[in-house]
Structure 1
Amino acid sequence: MSQNDNLDGIKAVLFDFGGVIAEEGFREGLRTLARQQGLDEQSIFEAGMDAVYDSGWVVGWGTEADFWRLMAERTALKGDPDSLRAVILERFRLRPSMLALVDALRRAGYVVGLLSDQTEWLDELDRRYRIYDHFDRLYVSYRLGKGKRDPSLFDDIARDLNLAPQEILFIDDSPGNVAQARRQGWRALLFQGEADLRRRLREMGIPSS
């Protein structure tokens, strides 16, 4: 019997990055910039979320320059793109205890992966913090050409893992992404804090330390 045969059939655990493994730097960075410039925080954040998809940047067919061009056209946000991006990147603060959880699951025999709608900024963060070393698989939207808004992404990943959908657990802080994963047959948990996550994993029979 393998180590996971009696643990609710889950063989892989995939984590979102911003908002789970790290603080949500894109949201907090844009809101910080809005406050600094006297703009509405929620409007700037929503414009940023639309622009990162509408520019194609987050799925790899657009560029960072395309993103900032749309932001300039659609909002009153001003500034040099290098300075603006620095504010955002510094707010992707890693949560060491979440990486420790990833490491513990890996030691317990689970395949652990990162599943995130991110641009090449994630590679830049990895060069600083060696994030990728903690994961067996990386599923990042700009590399894959599609993001979590596309339900076929979940089917693609299940095939890549060679697992049935119900053998995969996904952890994300977005209710919409959690619902999308569940519609594709995955198990999924909404991240509402580390203590809550560890409790729910224990209830599923999955070791969290």
Structure 2
Amino acid sequence: MAVEAVVYDIGNVLIEWNPERFFEGRFGEERRRRLFEDVPLLAMNDDVDRGHDFAKAVAGMAEAHPEWAEEVRCWHDNWIEMASPAIDRSVRLLRALRARGVPVFALSNFGRATFDIACAHYPFLTEFDQRYISGHIGAIKPEPRIYELLESTCGVAPSGLLFADDRADNIAMAQSRGWQVHLFDGPDGWADRLVAEGLLDPEEAE
């Protein structure tokens, strides 16, 4: 079936998301490794993505792990440095699709506060036709509920959706629901896919 709308993940598709790189740059590889072994930062981040209060979650984790308090607080105070830079060609492709009149939706795991921070830093995140952000929904990918909400409100049948995400588990859930999918491993392959689907001309995909 022809693609009627494109669905974008955000982290590692439109902006880089690499907390490990930030912590290694700030504290060194060995300390970063020990931090991530000792403190459940990624689980905390999942809770924030489900809608838990960002500042309270980080403060609570710092209190629970006083020996790592300085590092844990960086997750809040330096968050935008972990979510950077923008992937410029992906942003150009997003804008090229919108210029063509192709509906473009966001489906992303993001906290409420962190998405506000990201939108202030990256104005292109406000340009989607519709946004499905986990912190506002209370469910994260690859849980079915967030996909179901998009399907029931976007106005496009699942078979008409083309979804780009960098995580295989998120892609697998979408594919099981009848979506067309693209496992994102860089903007060049994504550009080729959009051209192959007839959504953009090669010149527009540059």
**Alignment-derived partner of residue 185 in structure 2:** 192
Give the direction of change, closer, same or farther, for the CA distance of 1:30–1:193 in structure 2 (3 Å limit). same
Give the direction of change, closer, same or farther, for the CA distance of 1:34–1:168 in structure 2 (3 Å limit). farther
Q: Which has the larger displacement, 120-129 or 170-179?
A: 120-129
Contact 1:52-1:58 at 8 Å conserved across structures: yes
**Alignment-derived partner of residue 95 in structure 1:** 87
Q: How many residues align?
A: 200
Aligned-CA RMSD value: 2.8
Distance 2:39 2:163 in 1: 24
Counterpart AA for 2:3: I
Residues 1:23 and 2:16 aligned together: yes
Give the direction of change, closer, same or farther, for the CA distance of 1:70–1:122 in structure 2 (3 Å limit). same
TM-score (norm 1): 0.81
Residues 1:165 and 2:158 aligned together: yes
**Alignment-derived partner of residue 4 in structure 1:** none
Q: Paired residue for 2:119, among 126, 129, 132? A: 126
Q: What secondary structure is seen at the aligned counterpart in 2 of 1:90?
A: helix
**Alignment-derived partner of residue 105 in structure 2:** 113
Q: Paired residue for 2:7, among 14, 25, 29? A: 14
Structure with greater helix share of residues: 2
Distance 1:42 1:151 in 2: 32
1:63 Cα shift? 3.8
Q: Percent identity?
A: 21
Give the direction of change, closer, same or farther, for the CA distance of 1:95–1:10 in structure 2 (3 Å limit). same
Give the direction of change, closer, same or farther, for the CA distance of 1:23–1:45 in structure 2 (3 Å limit). farther
Counterpart AA for 1:22: I
Q: What secondary structure is seen at the aligned counterpart in 1 of 2:10?
A: coil
TM-score (norm 2): 0.83
| Structure 2: segments with no counterpart, 5+ residues | none
1:78 Cα shift? 2.9
Contact 2:6-2:103 at 8 Å conserved across structures: yes
**Alignment-derived partner of residue 5 in structure 1:** none
Distance 2:21 2:159 in 1: 33
Give the direction of change, closer, same or farther, for the CA distance of 1:76–1:188 in structure 2 (3 Å limit). farther
Cα deviation, 1:164-190, whole Å, max 9, x if unaligned, reads 111111111111111111112111111
Contact 1:30-1:41 at 8 Å conserved across structures: no
Q: Which has the larger displacement, 29-38 or 16-25?
A: 29-38
**Alignment-derived partner of residue 69 in structure 1:** 60
Contact 1:59-1:147 at 8 Å conserved across structures: yes
| Structure 1: segments with no counterpart, 5+ residues | 1-7
